Amino acid sequence: MPFAPTNILMNKKTLHFPAGFFWGSATSAHQVEGGNVNDWSEWEKGNSERLAREAKNYWQDWQKAKFPEMFNPRNYISGKACDHYNRYEEDFELAKSLNHNAHRFSIEWSRIEPEEGKFNEKEIGHYRDVIKSLREKNLEPFITLWHWTNPLWLAKIGGPENKKFAYYFGRYAKFVAEQLGDSVNFWITVNEPTSVIANSYARGIWPPQRKSFLSALKVYKNLAAAHNSAFDAIHTISKANVGFANLLTFYEPYDKNSILDKAALKVAEYFGNKKFLNLTKNKNDFLAAQYYFHHRIKFPFKNKNENKALTDMGWEIYPRGIYHILKELKKFNLPIYITENGLADAEDSRREKFIKEHLYWVHKAIREGADVRGYFYWSLLDNFEWDKGFWPRFGLVEIDYETLERKIRPSARAYAEICGNNYIKM
C-alpha cells in the first residue's frame, strides 16, 4: 500500500493512520514455541541455578517482592514455553479476534537445519502451515529468520563469530525462501544484532558469554555480512521485501553543555544505532525499528534517566523517544515498520497508556514525513524473556504457565479498538 499522507485526517482528538497500515504483534520462536534444542536451551540448563541465585543482587526490592518466581531456577528454563508450536492456530485466532491484520514471528533455524547442510522437510512443512493459518485469518506474515538462537552444530564452531556464519546463514535463508517464498512478502533477516553484540560478546551475560571487544567487532561484521548475503539470496528467488530489525535507542546528553557527555553520546549512537545500517547500506528494502530505550548519557557511559515511569523490568517509559528515532530514519527514504515496542506489565496497569502514547508520537512522525507503515506490539503472548526468564509479562495475552491457558488482557482490547479503527483517540 503506497504511503499517502493525505489519508491522515486530523482533528483535535482523532489521529488517523495511513490506509493499509499493518497492525499486529510480534513473537520469536525460542520465546514461545517450546521444545527447542539450540544454543540457548543448552545454556539455560547450565545456568538456571546461577541466574536464580544472582537475582537477589540484580533486582530492586520492589521487583523481588512482586516477582518471587525469579528465585526459582525453573524460571530460567524455556522448556515448553507457551507451547505455541502446537497452539499457533488458537493464538492466531486470538490475534484475529483482536483486529490484528499482521503478525511477526520467527523461524527456528535449529529446527530447519538441525545438522549442518541437512534440511528438515517436516519442519519446513510446519512453518508452511503456520503461514497458511495466518493467511486464512488475513494476517500478513512478517518473518524473522534469526532471532538469536543457533543450531548446536553452528554454536559449536563459534556461531556468529565464525567467519563462515554469513555463508551458512545465506544458505539457510535461500532454502527457506525457496520453500516458503511464494507466500511471504516481508522477511526480516536478523533481529537486533546490537543486542547480541552487546550482551553475548561485550558484556558477556548471554551465551556464549564472551567478553571481548574484538569478538564483538567480529560479530558486528559477520552479522552484517549475514544480512547482506540473505538479502541477495532471497532476491535471487523472490521480489519480497527484506530488512533487519534494528534496536534503536533515543540518546540524549545528560548535560547539553558538556562536551564529554556529547562525545560519549556520539560513540553510543554510532555503535548502537548507526554502524549496522552503514554496513548494510543499499541492502534494505525497508527499515524495521524496535524501540524500548531512552538513554541520557553521562560521560563515560552512564545512563542518567529521570525514570518517572518504569516497566516491571525497571526500563524507563519514554514514549517521545520513538518520535525522534523515526524522524532520524526519515532521511533513508525507505518504508518503516515498527517491528517491536512494548513493556513488561504484569498488572496491565500501564499497557494501554503506553501503547496510546507511543502511537501518538508515531503519528506525529508520520505527519512530519516519516513513512511508517506498521506497528507490532511486543508481544502477543507472555513469553520467555531470555536470561530473565518467564516472570516479565509482555503479553497482550496472559499465559498461565501451569495450565497454558490464554487470557486476553484489558489493554489488548483497547489496542484491538485502535487496530480496528485505524486511528487513536487522545
Distance of closest approach, residue 199 Cβ to ligand FCB, in angstroms: 9
Q: Which is nearer to ligand FCB, 254 or 293 (CB)?
A: 293
Binding range to ligand FCB, per CB under 6 A, among 13-21, 72-80, 187-195, 362-370? 187-195
Q: What does the alpha-carbon distance between residue 11 and residue 8 come to, in Å, rounded to a whole number?
A: 10
Query: Among residues 318 and 423, whose Cβ is nearest to ligand FCB?
Result: 318
In the complex, least distance from residue 133 CB atom to ligand FCB, rounded to whole angstroms: 22
Instruction: Please tell me whether residue 291 binds ligand FCB under the rule CB under 6 A.
Output: no
Q: Does 228 bind ligand FCB (CB under 6 A)?
A: no
Q: Is 340 in the site for ligand FCB (CB under 6 A)?
A: yes
DSSP state string for 365-405: HHHTT--EEEEEEE-SB----GGGTT-S---SEEE-TTT--
Nearest alpha carbon to residue 138 among 287, 286, 17, 24: 24
Q: Which of 348, 385, 387, 417 binds ligand FCB (CB under 6 A)?
A: 385
Of 47 and 149, which has the nearer Cβ to ligand FCB? 149
- Are 378 and 396 within 8 A, CB to CB? no
> Residue from 63, 195, 303, 305 that binds ligand FCB (CB under 6 A)?
195
Rounded Cα distance, 281 and 340, in Å: 22
H helix or E strand, kind and range, residue 99: none
Member of 39, 192, 269, 382 binding ligand FCB (CB under 6 A) = 192
Widest pairwise Cα distance in the chain: 60
Quick one: which segment of 108-116, 190-198, 267-275, 316-324 binds ligand FCB (CB under 6 A)? 190-198
User: Do the Cβ atoms of 140 and 185 come closer than 8 Å?
Assistant: yes
In 3D, which of 69, 164, 173, 108 has the Cα closest to residue 399?
69
Non-local (6+) Cβ contacts of 298 within 8 A are 254, 255, 261, 264, 304
Least CB distance to ligand FCB at residue 188 (A): 11
Kindly state the smallest distance separating residue 84's Cβ from ligand FCB, in Å. Answer: 14
Told to check if 191 binds ligand FCB by CB under 6 A, we report yes
Binds ligand FCB by CB under 6 A, chosen from 59, 172, 378, 391: 378
Specify the residue, 94 or 190, whose C-beta has the smaller distance to ligand FCB.
190
Note the Cα 79 to chain centre separation in Å: 20
Q: What three-state secondary structure class fits 394?
A: coil
Interacting span for ligand FCB (CB under 6 A) from 129-137, 155-163, 166-174, 189-197: 189-197
382 C-beta neighbours (distance < 10 Å), count = 27
Give min distance, CB of 25 to ligand FCB, in A.
Answer: 12
Which residue, 3 or 88, is less far from ligand FCB as judged by CB?
Answer: 88
Pair 21, 422: CB distance under 8 Å: yes
Phi (first) and psi of residue 341, to 5 degrees: -170, 130
28 contributes a contact to ligand FCB by CB under 6 A: yes
Q: For residues 120 and 114, what is the distance between their CA atoms, to the nearest angstrom?
A: 7
Touching ligand FCB, residues 48-77 (CB under 6 A) = none
Tell me the site size for ligand FCB, rule CB under 6 A: 11
Binding of residue 106 to ligand FCB (CB under 6 A):
no
Choose one: 188-196, 255-263, 347-355, 363-371; the region binding ligand FCB (CB under 6 A). Answer: 188-196
CB of 6 to ligand FCB, least distance (A): 34
Cell digits of residue 121: 522437510
Of the two residues 187 and 378, which places its CB atom closer to ligand FCB in the complex? 378
- Phi, psi for residue 382 in degrees, rounded to 5: -55, 150
Residues 6+ apart with CB under 8 A from 2: none
352 binding ligand FCB? (CB under 6 A) = no
Which window, 13-21, 196-204, 263-271, 378-386, contacts ligand FCB (CB under 6 A)?
378-386
Q: Residue 295 and residue 248: Cα distance in Å, rounded?
A: 11
Element (H, E) at 243: strand 241-247
The residues, ordered by sequence, that sit 6+ positions from 6 with a Cβ below 8 Å of its Cβ are none
**Residues that bind ligand FCB in the complex, under the rule CB under 6 A:** 28, 31, 191-192, 195, 247, 340, 378, 385-386, 394
